[in-house]
């Protein structure tokens, strides 16, 4: 339920409404904008409760949120969320966010060199895996804490915020120390304990859609994070598993405009995992930006054939430069900015 506070209500009047919400055993989420103040009531919303709040002084109106996810929904918050990051980078504003870097960090030079290359091509956020969710326990599972330090060094050296995946509550403290965005991977989208923990963290979280996660399940997973008090959630479509085996995953283009219609949260597209094939990354990246994505996550490697994970879908430096130029042409068409990248038409 959403309570719209009457214009001119004082802080004490607002506090009184919040106290009544808490007395009813529910949580209150205050959102004070320049235009109006609204209070979200989290918990069940029977009609009697709506009647009770409607009769309170300083309450302008009361609305029930029809969706099962509340804080995440567009009904709850009409204006788009813009996540603020270090170095003045934002996710969800007019400027596209481009997160690029290797699937996994292999050594310090590897991440530092890749950071310089992707930055020069126009990326504004550095990605790199330290803890890798691998299908086989014998595959390379990341360098762990050591990689977090390399990632942080590379981010500082190039002036970019950094994002890395957190797989377990065990590593929350170290990931928070070194990273600017915590990535919750597809395989952990419904790890509800992990969602609770990142919800308590004071860091933006990027939540990837599960391999067979429905849109509603994805948004409810984001609700877990927001319900713990973390407003800085970014959604990421990374492809879903379908009957098709010609590519690794099926990038669900529909999910981009739908998630943006249902939620105020920024939506990032990951065509690297969404396709699993290097040759498909650029066209799908262009399609995602055309469909309204707020940015991209792209795997880039200096020598993909020797990558310790996801080489088949990683772009070389020159392929990434080319992709950025093509994406820039689409960005212009949809009136989004991608600073420092010269647009060129994509090769057919
Ligand atoms: C990744 O970003 O490297 C990754 C493992 O992604 P996902 O969780 O989407 O598979
Ligand atoms: Mn990967």
Cβ–ligand 1 distance for 264 under 6 Å, the answer: no
Residue 311, CB-side half-sphere exposure with 13 Å CA sphere: 9
Q: Which residue puts its alpha carbon closest to atom 10 of ligand 1?
A: 186
DSSP-derived 3-state class of residue 230 = coil
Starting from the CA of residue 128, give the closest ligand. Answer: 1
Q: In the prediction, which pLDDT does 117 show?
A: 98
288 and 144, same structural domain?
Answer: yes
Share of the chain above pLDDT 90, in %: 86
Q: From start to end of 271-330, where are the E strands?
A: 295-299
pTM value is 0.93
Does ligand 1 have an atom closer than 6 angstroms to the CB of 257?
no
What pLDDT, in 10s, does the model give residues 247-266?
A: 999 999 999 999 999 999 99
Average pLDDT of the residues in 137-147: 97
Same domain, 89 and 208: yes
pLDDT of residue 47: 85
Residue 322 tokens read as: 């080319």
Q: How many domains does the chain have?
A: 2
What would the pLDDT profile of 303-329 be if each residue is shown by its tens digit? 999 999 999 999 999 999 999 999 999
Is the model's pLDDT at 42 over the cut of 90? no
* Residue whose structure tokens are 């979280």: 205
Pairwise pLDDT comparison (4 vs 287), residue with the higher score: 287
Strand partners, 338: none
Whether 102 and 200 share a structural domain: yes
Q: Residue 276 has what pLDDT?
A: 98
Tell which atom from ligand 1 comes closest to the C-alpha of 127. 2
- At residue 141, the 3 state secondary structure works out as coil
Residues 55 and 111 in one domain: no
In this predicted structure, what is the pLDDT of residue 9?
92
Report the pLDDT value the prediction gives residue 348, as an integer from 0 to 100: 61
The secondary structure of 50-93 as a DSSP string is: HHHHHTSTTEEEEE---SS--TTBTTT--SPP-EE-GGG-EESS
Whole-number Å distance, alpha carbon 185 to ligand 1 midpoint, is: 5
With a 6 Å cutoff on the Cβ, whether 129 touches ligand 1 is yes
- Are 111 and 186 part of one and the same domain? yes
Tell me, yes or no, whether 89 and 57 share the same domain: no
Note whether residue 76 is domain-resident: no
CA proximity to 155, closest of 203, 123, 133: 123
Predicted confidence (pLDDT) per residue in 275-305, tens digit? 999 999 999 999 999 999 999 999 999 999 9
Which helix or strand (DSSP H or E) is residue 41 part of?
Answer: strand 37-42
- State which residues form the domain around 324: 83-346
Question: Residue 237 in 3-state DSSP?
Answer: strand
Share of the chain above pLDDT 70, in %: 99
Ligand 1 pocket: which of 111, 163, 164, 186 to mutate (most atoms <8 Å of CB)?
186
Q: Which stretch of DSSP H or E encloses residue 97? A: strand 97-101
Q: Which residues surround ligand 2, an ion (CB under 5 A)?
A: 103, 310
Any domain includes 75:
no
Q: What is the CATH number of the domain that holds 94?
A: 3.20.20.70
pLDDT over 90 (residue 330)? yes
Same domain, 53 and 140: no
So what's the pLDDT on residue 46? 85
The first and second tokens of residue 210, run together, are 């599960």
Quick check: 347 pLDDT over 70?
Answer: no
CA distance 258 to 248: 23
Ligand 1, atom 1, lies closest to the CA of 103
Q: How far, in Å, from the CA of 171 to the mean position of ligand 2?
A: 19
Q: Is the CB of 269 under 6 A from ligand 1?
A: no
Task: Determine which helix (DSSP H) or strand (DSSP E) holds 83, and give its type and residue range.
Answer: strand 83-84
Q: By the 8 A CB rule, do 286 and 317 touch?
A: no
Ligand in closest contact with the CA of 300: 2
Q: Is 208 in the pocket of ligand 1 (CB under 6 A)?
A: yes
Q: How far apart are the first and last CA of the chain?
A: 50
264 touches 77 (CB < 8 A): yes
- Domain holding 56: CATH number? 3.30.70.1140
Q: Report the mean per-residue pLDDT for the chain.
A: 95
């Amino acid at each position: 339920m959403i309570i719209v506070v009457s214009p001119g209500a004082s802080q004490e009047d607002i506090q009184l409404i919040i106290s009544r919400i808490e007395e009813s055993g529910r949580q209150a989420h205050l959102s004070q904008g320049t235009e109006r103040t609204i209070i979200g009531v989290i918990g069940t919303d029977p009609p009697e409760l709506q009647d009770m709040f409607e009769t309170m002084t300083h309450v302008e109106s009361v609305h029930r949120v029809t969706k099962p996810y509340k804080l995440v929904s567009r009904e709850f918050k009409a204006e788009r969320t813009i996540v603020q990051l270090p170095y003045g980078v934002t996710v969800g504003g007019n400027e596209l966010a481009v997160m690029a870097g290797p699937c996994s960090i292999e050594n310090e030079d590897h991440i530092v060199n890749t950071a310089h290359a992707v930055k020069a091509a126009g990326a504004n956020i550095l990605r790199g895996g330290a803890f890798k969710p691998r299908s086989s326990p014998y595959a390379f599972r990341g360098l762990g804490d050591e990689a977090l330090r390399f990632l942080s060094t590379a981010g500082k050296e190039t002036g970019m915020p950094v994002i890395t995946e957190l797989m377990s509550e065990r590593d929350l403290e170290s990931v928070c120390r070194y990273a600017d965005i915590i990535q919750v991977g597809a395989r952990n989208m419904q790890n509800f304990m992990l969602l609770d923990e990142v919800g308590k963290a004071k860091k933006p979280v990027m939540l990837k859609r599960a391999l067979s996660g429905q849109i509603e399940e994805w948004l409810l997973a984001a609700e877990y994070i927001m319900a713990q008090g973390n407003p800085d959630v970014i959604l990421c479509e990374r492809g879903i598993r379908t009957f098709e085996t010609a590519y690794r995953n099926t990038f669900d283009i529909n999910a981009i405009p739908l998630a943006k219609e249902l939620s105020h949260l920024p939506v990032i597209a990951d065509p690297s995992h969404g396709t699993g094939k290097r040759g498909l990354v650029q066209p799908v990246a262009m399609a995602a930006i055309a469909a309204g994505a707020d940015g991209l996550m792209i795997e880039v490697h200096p020598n993909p054939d020797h990558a310790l994970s996801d080489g088949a879908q990683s772009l070389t430096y020159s392929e990434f430069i080319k992709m950025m130029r093509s994406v820039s042409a689409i960005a212009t068409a949809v009136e989004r900015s991608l600073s420092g990248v010269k647009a060129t038409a994509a090769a057919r």
